[in-house]
Amino acid sequence: MQEISWNDFAKVELRAGTVTRVEPFPEARRPAWKVWADFGPELGELKASAQITALYQPRDLIGRQIIGVVNFPSKQIGPFTSQFLLTGFHSNPDGTGPVVISGPERPVPNGAKLC
C-alpha cells in the first residue's frame, strides 16, 4: 500500500448524493446500470455507469444516498458519458466479487463532503 499525504486526500471530492434514476446499460461490456444522482445545488445531477447489477436492482437504488467521487474527468463509456465514480467495496476479502455500494449511515445534505 502506498502512503499519501493529507494534501493528496484533500484533492479527492467525495460527496453524498441521492440516486434519482437508474436505467439499463445494454451497450456496456460488463453488466452495468446507468445511474443518476443529485449532488445538491452546487453540482446538480450527475450520471455514472456502475457495475453493480449483481446485488442491486433499480428499485433498490432510487432514493438511496451514495458516495461519489465527483472531480474525476468525465469518462466516455460507449455511448454514455460517466461524470462521477460511484464508490463501493468488493464483497470478497481478496478484492473480488460483487460490489457493495458505500453511502452515509444517516441522511446528510446532497453535496455534503466526506471529511
Neighbouring CB atoms inside 10 A of 5's CB total 8
DSSP 29-94: SS--EEEEEE-HHHH-EEEEEE--TTT--HHHHTT-EEEEE--SPPEEETTEEE-SEE-EEESSTT
pTM above 0.85, yes or no: yes
Each residue of 46-71: pLDDT tens digit?
999 999 999 999 999 999 999 999 99
Task: State residue 101 phi and psi, 5-degree precision.
Answer: -70, 155
Encoded amino acid at 60, one letter = D
CATH fit for domain 13-101, picks 2.40.50.140, 3.40.50.300, 3.40.50.1360, 3.10.150.10? 2.40.50.140
Each residue of 18-29: pLDDT tens digit?
999 999 999 999
Nearest-angstrom CA–CA distance, 68 and 18 = 10
